[in-house]
Structure 1
Amino acid sequence: MILGDWDADGVVSAAELLYAQRNLGLYPIKKRCNVMVRPVGPRSIEEVADEILSVEPRVIALVDIPFTTSVGKFLREAKSRSISLVYIDHHLSTIFKSKELEKIVDELIVGKVPTALLVYHLLKTIGARLTPRLEMFVRATGVIERSKRPSKRLERLVRIVVDISKALTHLREEELWRRLVEWLASPLAFSAMPFSHDVIERIRRISESSDKRLKELATELAPTAHRIFNLRLVDARGKLRSRGGSALASMLYRTFRSPVAVIVETKDRAPLLIIRGKGALPYRIALVLVRMGIVEDAGGHQSLALLKLRKDVDINEVESMLRKAMLEVSRTL
């Protein structure tokens, strides 16, 4: 059984494993066999755990799912039932908990590149060749996840992948996710995409409306930013909750063309620090802040760090802590 996150990286990663297992018989099991695929979130996995485990799969592969307490509980239960576990991911929480995960799962692959690329390189080392379509989607996902400028050849596909990712995360339709994974893993070159044009257009209109509101908010908040070397710190509490915070950070990152740190609040009113930047800078800053002991929980990936701060942390001290972190990071560059 393959479990993947809802977004494009999760879909493409799941499709790669599905193709490698069902069509090539190479990985995770070295023979062709029936494969089930299912989308799960890092917290909703607890709600469907009994249903998944009741199938009694020989192997469960989790791709692009950030490690959480719920994921850990699920893995331990699966292990107690003698189910082999494969975990492939690039999120910060998974990287930070890798030593704990090594004691639970049978195969752990973590890295700073998008999960679709981790799976791609893994399959390449065992001699697996993907279909041209699936390989192009891997490349497009890598561009999006690392916020790179697409080549002329990939521009149109990148736009399609962005629309698909938004549609999946907005609609949360399990059957639609599954059909897309099956389509990507299909060896048939001319099979039709399982999305109607109307669905994409509807999501695109919703997305454009949301982007417009975020752009207006980013324009309003930009003048309030505090400069810490080349990083801008923006306090968005009272303006936006944690939902939408990542998108706002990305919007401000494009506005300033330099790294940004945005403070919002979670549902339980804990401060959430979102760091957006180029390459692994947010990841490096996050590592320092975690070592400082002010972080309760960490998420995101190398270019977008989501740090839930302890409630007793003085927000007025966050700027000085970020300054110390930036200084420490600069010494290692």
Structure 2
Amino acid sequence: MNWGSAGAGGFRAAMSEQCPKILIVGDWDADGIIASAEMVYANEVAKAFPIKGNKCPTELRPASPRTMSEAFKGGCWDYVIILDIPFTQEVEASLDQLTASGCRPKIYYFDHHKITIEKSTYIEGKYSAVTFIGLSPTSVLVKVFLESIGVKLTPRLKDLVSSAAVLEGGGWLSRNNRSATEGMVKLAASISKAINQSKDPELWRKYVQWASSVLPFEVSVVPSARDYENLVSKGLEVSERSDKEIKEVATGLAMTAKAVGFLKLVDARGKWNKSGASALASALYKITRGTVALLVSKSDDTELLIIRSGHGEAMRIAEELFKQGVIEDLGGHENIASGRVRKGISDKELEDAIRKASLAAFRFSGQ
């Protein structure tokens, strides 16, 4: 049927009135991208979630806890699906602002961060939300949920979920399912690094759409498939450049590491103001072969402390610092945790707090 320009516009307007408005907000990293792709597939292909038989497109927006308020700007939705974003004070404030504006969406919250797990009952009570939480990576939690309602994921999505489990290093899938190939794990890691380097929302959306696509890898005669292949190649190229830069910077910074308690403190303020601070902390951990606390400054003059360990010390140290009131908006996992340094804390106060926190954490672990 030929609608003509006016007719097509009228048709789209009519459809927009009938369609429920669905917003997917996912983290920037591989786990968030893959989880978002699973939800796009469940809605737009399987037509099974968040409502059955839905034929309406989803709106995709990437976010971190600090930028959640930006993701909620300029709209009101019937359904909001939050994926792989820890429930920090900033996220709570953003949700409060959304509901205060009169928007009352049905909220689904999928996450594996410790703070969200601990706050799940609170989230459900305050926002009438439904939470799906657990220790496995968020994309694994989404996979288990979707399979429970009869959604069969594509082989590509299954492989990507397995890869995310390997990258995240936790949960039953990484222990019991070794189906992820080295190439797919590298691809997932490359996508994550490319996005973290660029922080480009449109590029993030393209990766989500690629991951949710039913087109096989080998299809190259279709223009969209060629676009996807170019997208993957770009991710690999950016990843290689990023790895090289991070390794070079980490090698230099490792020489400045200062022993504070049972860890090494690296002050990178003024030396690293890009994305990828977590990757830098991991590189420092490998070089120093011990628990590392990395201090970086952001463009808005806030300071972040990122702790990287190998046996669960990172989160215990971060929790001790949070209890002392030294850091705010605690997030992360057992072996990589982060928080925003509270305004007004001097360098000496921070070092003293880190020393006490590391002693308490290592005493707890019996090391």
Q: TM-score range by the shorter chain?
A: 0.7 to 0.9
Mapped contact 1:272–1:309 kept (Cα < 8 A): yes
Secondary structure of the equivalent of 1:308? Answer: strand
Q: Deviations over 1:105-128 (max 9, x none)?
A: 411233443211221233344454
Number of equivalences: 330
Whole-angstrom CA distance in 2 between matches of 1:200 and 1:130: 20
Contact 1:112 1:302 in 2 (8 A): no
Report the Cα distance in structure 1 between the residues aligned to 2:204 and 2:283, rounded to whole angstroms.
27
Match of 2:342 among 310, 318, 330: 310
Please tell me whether the aligned partners of residues 179 and 194 of structure 1 are also in contact (alpha carbons under 8 angstroms).
no
1:210-231 Cα offsets, whole Å, 9 max, x none, are 4334323322232332345653
**Structure 1 unaligned residues grouped into runs of 5+:** none
- The CA deviation string for residues 246-297 of structure 1, in whole angstroms up to 9 with x for no partner, is 2321111121233211122233544421101236432222122111221133
| Residue 75 (structure 1) aligned to one of 81, 85, 95 | 95
SS of structure 1 residue aligned to 2:131: strand
CA contact (8 A) 2:162 2:180 kept: no
Distance (Å, rounded) in 2 between the aligned partners of 1:145 and 1:92: 14
Whole-Å separation in 1 of the counterparts to 2:31 and 2:290: 25
**CA distance in 2: counterparts of 1:151 and 1:218, whole angstroms:** 31
Q: Deviations over 1:154-185 (max 9, x none)?
A: 21011111222233344455454434333433
- Residue in 2 aligned with 1:132? 155
1:142 aligns with 2:165: yes
3-state secondary structure, aligned to 2:331: strand
> 1:227-266 maps to which residues of 2 (within 5 A)?
227=259, 231-241=263-273, 243-266=275-298
CA distance in 2, matches of 1:58, 1:52: 10
Separation in 2, partners of 1:239, 1:293: 26
User: Structure 1 pair 236/283, CA: closer, same or farther in 2 (3 Å)?
Assistant: same
Residues 1:61 and 1:152: Cα distance change in structure 2 (over 3 Å): closer
Structure 1 stretch 26-35 or stretch 138-147: which is displaced more? 26-35
Which residue number in structure 1 is paired with residue 42 of structure 2?
Answer: 20
CA deviations 1:47-91 (Å, max 9, x no partner) are 4534331xxx43211112344556434433554433211111234
| 1:220 aligned to which of 239, 252, 256 | 252
SS of equivalent to 2:132: strand
Structure 1 residues 136 and 321: CA distance shift in structure 2, 3 A: same
> Are 1:62 and 2:82 matched, yes or no?
yes
Equivalent AA in structure 1 for residue 354 of structure 2: L
Q: Which letter does structure 1 place at the counterpart of 2:183?
A: R
**How far apart, in 2, do the equivalents of 1:236 and 1:220 lie?**
10
SS at match of 2:205: helix
What percent of counterpart residues are identical? Answer: 38
Aligned-residue RMSD, C-alpha: 3.4
Q: Which TM-score applies when normalising by structure 1? A: 0.81
- Alignment match, 1:178: 205
Q: Which moved more, 1:39-48 or 1:153-162?
A: 39-48
Match of 2:9 in 1: none
Task: Name the counterpart of 2:60.
Answer: 38
Change (3 A) 1:302 1:129: farther
Residue pair 2:291, 2:310 contacting (<8 A) in 1 also: yes
Q: Tell me, in whole angstroms, the C-alpha distance in 1 between the residues paired with 2:242 and 2:205.
A: 26
For residues 337 and 263 of structure 2, the distance between their equivalents in structure 1, rounded to whole angstroms, comes to 14
The 2-side partners of 1:250 and 1:275 are apart by 9
Distance 1:270 1:186 in 2: 38
Do residues 52 (structure 1) and 75 (structure 2) align? Answer: yes
Deviations 1:187-223 (A, max 9, x none): 4546565645555555544544443343233222323
Paired residues of 1:86 and 1:108 also in contact (CA < 8 A)? yes
